[in-house]
Amino acid sequence: MTHREFVLELKKITEINNIELDDLQVQYFFEYYRILSKENEKYNLTSIRDLKSIVLKHFLDSIMGLKFFEELNKNDELYILDIIDFGCGAGFPLIPYRIYNQSIGKSNKLIFIDSNRKKINFLKILLQNLKFKNNQKIITLHSRLEAFDSNDLSSKVILVARAVGEINKILKNITSFLSRSNIKNATFVYYAGPNFIMPENRIIKSSQSSKDRKKTSDSAYGISGKIFDYTYQEKTVRRKLAVFDVKNLK
């Protein structure tokens, strides 16, 4: 695959979907594709291998979901709150969206979490090659979300994921993370599958022990969500985006 062939395919697909990319962004995506293709055998990153499918199902799909969320969200939270992509695999959806929207990550942290060490190693290689100007605000972590805690995050966070498991378990893991990190509220943006059913609103209680196990803190989080349908690729691709509000009730 030559650079010219890649650029022609990328521009054909992005122009159909009214996505404008400058030369630097095109080069970022070419490097992403080149490194993904090179390292895929080693890290088992994706079963999708042909150029058109990678551009359409990984790069464009990642962009369109968060772009749709940004249009829904009127508070510019993507530019203010720390964003966590968990179960991030090869960096989808947050890295393609970061390439498209170069304003995110300037004043907020972008955090990538995956329990697969090989995939985190791939992300480190990718980020070293992409050389974003604000790389110091991008963090990669080998962990599960529910095992991660931090006292250095915004008081509200945005979590994003693409079909990483059973939704009720995911919501439970989110509340465990929020409780461990003493974070009050979160918005969870979930790229849902075609058969996704929105769970009912609920309250999830979480108990966390201090590191010395001498104290236990109890938290209760109210969770409500909405499902949104959107299309792209001249309405030939139909997608669902589930957006959850997670709020500490204490």
Structural domain boundaries enclosing 185 = 3-248
Identify any residues that bridge with 241 across adjacent strands, giving them in sequence order.
Answer: 191, 228
Q: Which residues of 124-156 are buried (b: 16+ CB within 10 A; e: fewer)?
A: eebbeebebeeeebbbbbbbebbebbbeebbeb
- Claim: this prediction has a pTM higher than 0.85: yes
> What would the two tokens of residue 188 be?
């969870």
Rounded CA gap, 89 and 168, in Å?
A: 21
Low-confidence stretches of the chain (pLDDT < 50) are: 210, 212-214
CA dihedral 102, 19, 55, 86 (to 10 degrees): 40
What is the predicted pLDDT for the residue at 194? Answer: 87
Q: Which residue has the tokens 């630097």?
A: 24
What is the predicted pLDDT for the residue at 208? Answer: 67
Q: What is the CATH number of the domain that holds 9?
A: 3.40.50.150
What is the predicted pLDDT for the residue at 213? Answer: 47
Q: Name the domain count of the chain.
A: 1
